[in-house]
Structure 1
Amino acid sequence: MDKANLLPEFRVSLERVKEGEEAYPKGEDIPHYEYQGQRTKLGGSPDWIQGNEEEWPGCPHCKNKMRFVAQIDSVEHDWNSNPHRVDSLSEDQKWMFGDVGMIFVFFCFECLETISVFECG
């Protein structure tokens, strides 16, 4: 295995979100950038960056709408509230997808197919 192609590992702790709550705070009183780097989650609805609700993927085989499984944030976003921030002017950032982008993962439970979608600011 070529270790040069591996990203540094992060341990992910899962916590079920209670009904009516969200994985991280959102709202008009919270600046959009406050939780960048901390928006990785499983399930729920995708937190589209560019508002692409219409582009929800369909399965390439059965054409049914796929299930949203996860979103993976730019974990090392250099912002004071992010505990995993890495200086953006250094060459040490490894988990930055474009301009604080996000990878969205979808799955078809019928055909066992996955699709990922990428968005950034």
Structure 2
Amino acid sequence: MNVVLAVFVVVGFAATIEYFDLPLHARNVTQRGSDSLAVLRDDSLSDLEKEEALQRQARRLFGLLGILAGGSILALGAPLGIVWLLGRVGIGSFERTLSVLQRLDFLGGTILVGALAYLFIQRLRTS
């Protein structure tokens, strides 16, 4: 049962990340960082214009940080919280589920299945 709960945690984590589109937000952070660097390197802007542009970028970056941090906490916290609640009512064990999540064979299998699923989805999207 604990292996099933561990799989639930992994699938729940991945589904939440996909649902909130966190990879897109992470790419936006990278783009905003590049845009900020371009502002710093732009000799045609005055110092005041650079400061205003960087402050706008900083506000957007803080918003994205909130989305990424909150989404990450929710992505991990929700499935683990459900497993904890199930453990409290006698279905599985929270501690043993965490133990399964840390096993090298489980981690390796998760990486392999996740990579294959990613490749399969990418193939479907390009077809």
Q: Give the TM-score normalised by structure 2.
A: 0.20
Higher relative contact order (CA 8 A, sep 6+): 2
**Higher Rg:** 2
Higher helix share: 2
Q: Give the TM-score normalised by structure 1.
A: 0.21
